[in-house]
Amino acid sequence: MNLVIQSLTPIAAEHHKPLLALSRGATLSAIDPCAVRIESAAIGQRPDLDVYCGTHELDYAFVEPARRLTDFGLVAMDMDSTLITIECIDEIADFCGLKAEVAAITEAAMRGEIKDFNESLTRRVALLKGLDASALEKVYEQRLQLSPGAETMLAGAKAAGMKTLLVSGGFTFFTEKLQARLGLDFTRANTLEIVDGKLTGRVLGEIVNADVKARTLREACDKLGIEPTRAIALGDGSNDLKMMAAAGLSVAFRAKPVVREAASVAFNHVGLDGLLRLF
């Protein structure tokens, strides 16, 4: 297997020899100043690599040597804390003084401690009842930021001929704006009910939970005429696990432990553009 090691900052030459030894690889070459590739690395060396890379804030991934980005036809992304840096519902709740309460439920749900995502979302949205809908625009304009490397990753995926899917347990208000801003091909999210300019505390229609996320990925693949094995899925929370399991390559992005353990690749330090260096 090829072993790709990445960092947010240039990888010092002093790391080359210990990384080559730890991985039991054949050769090491630079991809760019912040990434190296080791050929014929031993996948059984994960425990040692976990320790070394964790200590030095490096991300590593084992990649099949013949695999190319052009082998894939779709990149599917979670929104909150993946494509963007915030949890939108937590920031919305801040406008009615309930951020801490809502964020605690969000965190527990993403760690997998609350098994019923529908219930957790319904509880959180109910707390927003009566909030002026203008808070959504304020969150988008004042607080929403793309995750590091997001635009570079999307540009690289599109250049490789891939289509893009944003599938979120968050809200259509934000996914639609991001679709227009970033030129995304497909989106799916929850719709907040708004009456007379106020949030009612309810979600309209089917809640986008883990099962719906996985189904949406498969449906997008069907539209494109490709197998789900030709999809890449990126996420951070437990409600992304089924979508990630359905894809041919899964990337845990600054994710909860349960997600890191299940994913093909975990990025704990680098940006989303780390995906492009794998191939």
**Active-site residue, from 32, 50, 80, 236:** 80
CB-based contacts of 64, cutoff 8 Å, min separation 6: 1, 2
User: What is the total residue count of the chain?
Assistant: 279
78 is catalytic: yes
Q: Give CA angle at 75 (274, 226), nearest 5°.
A: 135
Amino acid symbol at 181 = R
Residue whose C-alpha is closest to residue 50's, from 29, 22, 12, 31: 22
Eight-class DSSP state of 170:
E
User: 128, 162, 165, 185: which is closest to 246 by C-alpha?
Assistant: 165
Give Cα separations from 221 to 74, 75, 91, 239 (angstroms): 7, 10, 32, 20
* Alpha carbon distances (Å) from 165 to 41, 57, 143, 184: 32, 30, 22, 7
Q: 59, 78, 90, 273: which is the annotated catalytic residue?
A: 78
Could you give the CA distance from residue 126 to residue 75 in angstroms, rounded to a whole number? 32
Positions of E strands within 93-142? none
Paired tokens of 230: 């030709």
Residue with tokens 């929850």: 190
Please name which of 91, 121, 76 lies closest in space to residue 243, comparing C-alpha atoms: 76
The answer to whether 59 is a known catalytic residue is no
State the catalytic residues: 78, 80
